[in-house]
Amino acid sequence: MPVPTEDVFRIEDLRIRAGKKELLKGISLSLRRNEILSAIGPSGSGKTTFLRCLNRLTDLEEGLTIEGRVLFKGKNIFDPETDAIELRRKVGMVFAVPMPLPMSIRDNLMLPLRLQSNSLEEDADGRIETCLRAAFLWDEVKDRLSLAATSLSGGQQQRLCLARSLMVRPDVLLLDEPCSGLDPISTAKIEEALQGLKKVMSVVLVTNNVKQASRTSDRTAFLLMGELVELGETGQIFTNPRDSRTGDYVSGRFG
């Protein structure tokens, strides 16, 4: 039965400049419902910049000029009337370096709920369990939720961050090289978690590990020097790329 694939994000000719330097040179693509879209490309190709645009974390940086449109559920997020706070509650993010806050595991998870004081979750403990299970961390921490989050291992910390970003039920999850410093087992757990999550949300996965992209994602975008070189089904990108630069990159000939 064909399900209508409505686009969650629709990005039209997105250009970002910092002074004279062009960080993104006109990117157009869509993020579909319930897909994992991975973005690959060599260092400095603009993957992080692109990702941070989608929840307007770029607001925090001075001196960026942004042109083009980024439609989230049909509305341009850069319109003056768009509330960046609301947007960020719908578009969660996990950073490259695990960023647990220096408080207990439970407080880390409660924080997103506390930020939305109007909608205090009636069953916070249930929600915590759900999110920790979704991030494959529940069994490891269920008995010590009041322990300092910083006392977890790096891989556990990153899964905690994943769980934390799920607490407010985002529609989109942005991950910036979430496994770059992790051991293979934690990496596998996060990848498995993403497969579960895509049933209820869309995921953009920036990764510097092409194997991860090929394992995990439905579609893959290849960025090079701020340019979207190619976007396609992951199978096609890896076996039958249209652009020779894509082929060179995924087969490890440069980058």
Partner 1 sequence: MNRRWIDLISRAFTALTGLACATLVLAVAMILGHVAYHGWAGLSWKFLTTAPRNGMTEGGIFPAIFGTVFLVVLMTVAVVPLGVSTAIYLREYAHADSRWVQAVRMAIQNLAGVPAIVFGLFGLGFFIEFVGKGIDAAFFGGKLYFGQPAILWAALTLALLTLPTVVVSTEEALRVVPRGHREVAYSLGATRWQMVRRVVLPQAVDGILTGTILAVSRGVGEVAPILFTGAAFYLPFLPTRLNQQFMVMNYHVYVLATQSPDIDATLPLLYSTVLVLLLLTLTLNSAAIVIRSRLRRRMKGSK
Ligand X SMILES: Nc1ncnc2c1ncn2[C@@H]1O[C@H](COP(=O)(O)OP(=O)(O)OP(=O)(O)O)[C@@H](O)[C@H]1O
Could you list the residues that contact ligand X (CB under 6 A)? 18, 21, 23, 41, 43-49, 61, 64, 208
The item of ligand X, partner 1, Mg ion, none sharing an interface with residue 95, based on CB under 5 to 8 Å by kind, is: partner 1
Contact 234, 38 (CB under 8 A): yes
Binding mask 118-157 for partner 1 (x = CB under 8 A): --------------------------x-xxxxx-------
In the bound complex, which residue of the shown chain has the CB atom lying closest to Mg ion? Answer: 48
Residue 115 near partner 1 by CB under 8 A: yes
Q: In what order do the strands lie in the sheet with 75-76?
A: 21-32, 7-18, 64-72, 75-76
**Total number of residues binding partner 1 (CB under 8 A)?**
34
Nearer to partner 1 by Cβ, of 114 and 242: the residue is 114
Torsion of CA 102, 103, 107, 113, to 10 degrees: -30
The item of partner 1, ligand X, Mg ion, none sharing an interface with residue 49, based on CB under 5 to 8 Å by kind, is: ligand X
CA angle 48, 198, 174 (to 5 degrees): 15
Residue 171 near partner 1 by CB under 8 A: no
**Footprint of partner 1 on 20-59 (CB under 8 A):** 55, 57
d(CA 231, CA 113): 36
Contact 7, 33 (CB under 8 A): yes
Residue 225 near partner 1 by CB under 8 A: no
Alpha carbons within 13 angstroms on the beta-carbon side of residue 191 total 20
